[in-house]
Chains A and B, each alone.
Chain A
């Protein structure tokens, strides 16, 4: 052993040759460096963009409270939104956003789960072949088209059905329902397909019916995935601006019922941002609305991560 070591350590010409051969850069190592460099560069650029967006929206959004000295509490709970006269109460928009989001999610979820079960369990071949393109198509339709259909079909229908202008939360809910349905459905399909086949087999082999198997085993073990799907749908509904703006009526007042005209954070932003002067209170107030939107999307993200982690724990434990 010692002898071998001595031989290896001997600085003769042969080891020097190997030393050079093993240390010099080849094409392969240079490609490695280049690849790593490019990916770090891209990541760095993205991080920079995201960070500066966060900083920009935060600093602008906070200006309402720091420069214009509006109290945060008043901003969140005040019901009077008239930035030109200094009244900055964002509660109507916050309530409006949450109302349409939750209503759309509540209406869409049963349909989405039903469709997903049909596509994965009941008719996994023909039904899936038929519905998959439909869902992909629904995802791809631009939101302005949804809004336009809402304006041309849903609003007159509501006007006819319940009276009033037809603009309001319920019309927005309907439009959002159609918009989030494909999101929730396709993610639910993914989570149902991820349920191991042997769970289903085990259940069927015990004499459980197909319906018992779906409701008690398959849906149960896909719960965290389905919740994630619903939250993604809600995030989409919460952030949707254009289609909602076209049908909700854009009245920055506290909604009294489902058919009264209202507005959401996004609809207020899109309709107001062109009319304000940079640095003034009305402009800053809109940035504060944007800040709320940002915080909410962070919240939705955190919720998704939390659920994913819980789901993972449940399977590992």
Chain B
């Protein structure tokens, strides 16, 4: 039986003016019909850092993440503000296609298209009007290198992406996202379908990528959050309960619900 925790007592950090934030949400609420899935999320994401969103199933962390690049459009109602480069991107007249070019997303289940490895990466570039073969080839190489996949696939770029292993497929999906040169990369439990060795590779890739990108990763796995993130937010039943640096989160959590979750009492 899950203990009742007060949603009044939260410990959510905010950043001072010196910290550059890549993305920030203000009073973000998400509703699935009558179901209030996310309450008042006020989070800022420092540039070129990895932020982990942790919490039990149904805590709203994936819902929150999907709202950030408007993937919840047509699925859920999202209110509140999402600040990106000084613009509130949670407004109807904002071009969602443009947003998603800058805020990329990688999903829980590796989802490459049933096309060749090369086609998977150039798909969005072509759709965006890039035509020159030299440019496309260069992007294929840089993004595959960025996702630490180049050495494994450079000779088989025209093979079907579905012939890759799960871990390779997920790194291909990361490569596909960074090919669009986004600022922010959203990852929704990217390793939950992967074996430990593939997971290590993806994590190494992320640590390398944070030099260029701001990364927000939803994870079920607390060890993973501890390994890769600098900031960590804990979600519980649709509320952000605690947001702090990862070190503090795991060594000295401030409120009872976080303490119990970190200690493994539930989740």
Judge if B173 is at the interface, Cβ distance under 8 Å: yes
Judge if B250 is at the interface, Cβ distance under 8 Å: no
Given contact pairs A316-B162, A317-B162, A317-B163, A202 touches B114 in the complex (Cβ within 8 A): no
Q: Which of B98, B101, B111, B180 sits near A198, CB closer than 8 Å?
A: B111
Contact between B107 and A209, CB atoms less than 8 A apart:
no
Q: How far is the CA of A42 from the CA of B100 in the complex (A)?
A: 57
Q: Which of A196, A198, A209 sits near B97, CB closer than 8 Å?
A: A209
Min CB distance, B182 to chain A, in Å? 9
Min CB distance, B82 to chain A, in Å? 16
Judge if B123 is at the interface, Cβ distance under 8 Å: yes
Min CB distance, B179 to chain A, in Å? 8
Within 8 A of A (CB), among B96-135: 97-101, 104-105, 107, 109, 111-115, 123-124, 127-128
Given contact pairs A202-B113, A205-B71, A212 touches B127 in the complex (Cβ within 8 A): yes
Contact between B71 and A201, CB atoms less than 8 A apart:
yes
Contact between B124 and A204, CB atoms less than 8 A apart:
no
Given contact pairs A315-B162, A317-B162, A207 touches B111 in the complex (Cβ within 8 A): no
Contact between A207 and B124, CB atoms less than 8 A apart:
yes
Task: Tell me the dominant secondary structure on chain A's binding face.
Answer: helix
Judge if A314 is at the interface, Cβ distance under 8 Å: yes
Within 8 A of A (CB), among B162-187: 162-163, 173, 176-177, 180
Q: How far is the CA of A208 from the CA of B63 in the complex (A)?
A: 21
Judge if A217 is at the interface, Cβ distance under 8 Å: yes
What is the size, in residues, of chain B's interface with A at 8 Å between Cβ atoms? Answer: 27
Q: B162 contacts which chain A residues (CB < 8 A)?
A: 315-317
Contact between A206 and B163, CB atoms less than 8 A apart:
no
Contact between A201 and B180, CB atoms less than 8 A apart:
no
Judge if A10 is at the interface, Cβ distance under 8 Å: no
Given contact pairs A198-B109, A221-B113, A221-B114, A207 touches B173 in the complex (Cβ within 8 A): no
Contact residue range for chain A?
20 to 34
Contact with A along B89-101 (1 / 0, CB 8 A): 0000000011111
Min CB distance, A200 to chain B, in Å? 10
Judge if A203 is at the interface, Cβ distance under 8 Å: yes
Judge if B10 is at the interface, Cβ distance under 8 Å: no
Q: Which of B114, B115, B160, B177 sits near A206, CB closer than 8 Å?
A: B177
Contact between A206 and B176, CB atoms less than 8 A apart:
yes
Q: How far is the CA of A217 from the CA of B100 in the complex (A)?
A: 17
Q: B107 contacts which chain A residues (CB < 8 A)?
A: 198, 201-202, 205
Within 8 A of A (CB), among B1-25: none
Judge if B69 is at the interface, Cβ distance under 8 Å: yes
Q: Which of B69, B124, B163, B177 sits near A208, CB closer than 8 Å?
A: B124
Contact with B along A215-232 (1 / 0, CB 8 A): 011001100000000000
Contact between B111 and A199, CB atoms less than 8 A apart:
yes
Contact with B along A276-307 (1 / 0, CB 8 A): 00000000000000000000000000000000
Q: How far is the CA of A198 from the CA of B162 in the complex (A)?
A: 14
Q: Which of A196, A204, A207, A217 sits near B180, CB closer than 8 Å?
A: A207
Q: A204 contacts which chain B residues (CB < 8 A)?
A: 71, 100
Q: How far is the CA of A317 from the CA of B97 in the complex (A)?
A: 31
Contact between B111 and A216, CB atoms less than 8 A apart:
no
Within 8 A of B (CB), among A170-216: 196, 198-199, 201-209, 212, 216
Q: B69 contacts which chain A residues (CB < 8 A)?
A: 205
Q: A316 contacts which chain B residues (CB < 8 A)?
A: 162
Q: A216 contacts which chain B residues (CB < 8 A)?
A: 123, 127
Contact between B163 and A207, CB atoms less than 8 A apart:
no
Min CB distance, B116 to chain A, in Å? 10
Q: B180 contacts which chain A residues (CB < 8 A)?
A: 206-207
User: Which residues of A line the B interface, CB within 8 A?
Assistant: 196, 198-199, 201-209, 212, 216-217, 220-221, 314-317
CB<8 Å pairs between A and B, sample of 5: A202-B112, A202-B176, A207-B127, A209-B97, A221-B113
User: Which residues of B line the A interface, CB within 8 A?
Assistant: 69, 71, 97-101, 104-105, 107, 109, 111-115, 123-124, 127-128, 160, 162-163, 173, 176-177, 180
Beyond A202-B111, A217-B113, list 10 extra A-B contacts (CB 8 Å): A202-B113, A204-B71, A206-B101, A207-B99, A208-B124, A209-B97, A220-B115, A221-B114, A314-B114, A315-B162
